[in-house]
Structure 1
Amino acid sequence: MRPRPEYGKPDSGQGSAEEAATLALMALGWTLSDGARADRLLALTGLDVDALRAGIDNPAILAAVLTFLADHEPDLIACAEAIDTTPAALVAAQERLSR
């Protein structure tokens, strides 16, 4: 399932929690595809593998993944390109999941 393109528009008011979670899961998959980046995610978020597995459907955990990416712009941009979205859509998803 791909999020709607308009989800990334800051003023659109669009984007469900489900779409935000989908983006976050796609971003998590991208993040975990690189061992060094995955290790950095765990180190910087304070999560461990078990917490990540157990919290895969937890909006706070998914928001933490997106916050991790947003805090390092090169990763944010690379992830957005890899999952065919925009950095703004990832940040909007993080904000939606943090509510």
Structure 2
Amino acid sequence: MGLRLLAHVVADDDLGSRFLALTGLSADDLRARADDPGVLAALIEFVAARESDLVAAADALALRPQTIVAAGDALAGGRA
């Protein structure tokens, strides 16, 4: 699910550029670390921080928003 969410974010010019700007990652860094649980947790946290982004991502991935948030919690080791 994290990789599908990553694809959704980078396909959206606004979301992708905001995520890169907020994390300080370059596009190359993101490609190299796409399977890093920490990066995926940060990605989910980024999407979940804005309800409109979370709902749009959930719709695009055919998931419930709560499923995305729960995945982020699991990747982050349960820390809130």
Counterpart Cα distance in 2 of 1:84 and 1:42? 24
Deviations 1:5-64 (A, max 9, x none): xxxxxxxxxxxxxxxxxx111111111111122101101122211221111111001111
TM superposition score normalised by structure 2: 0.90
Aligned length: 77
Higher helix share: 2
Deviations 1:57-83 (A, max 9, x none): 110011111011011110000000110
Gaps of 5+ in 1: 1-22
1:98 maps to 76
- Residue 42 of structure 1 aligns to a residue in which SS? helix
TM superposition score normalised by structure 1: 0.74
Please report the RMSD computed on the Cα atoms of aligned residues, expressed in angstroms: 0.9
Larger radius of gyration: 1
1:6-21 → structure 2 map (5 Å cutoff): none
Q: Which has the higher contact order (CA 8 A, sep 6+)?
A: 1
Moved >3 Å (runs of 4+): none
Gaps of 5+ in 2: none
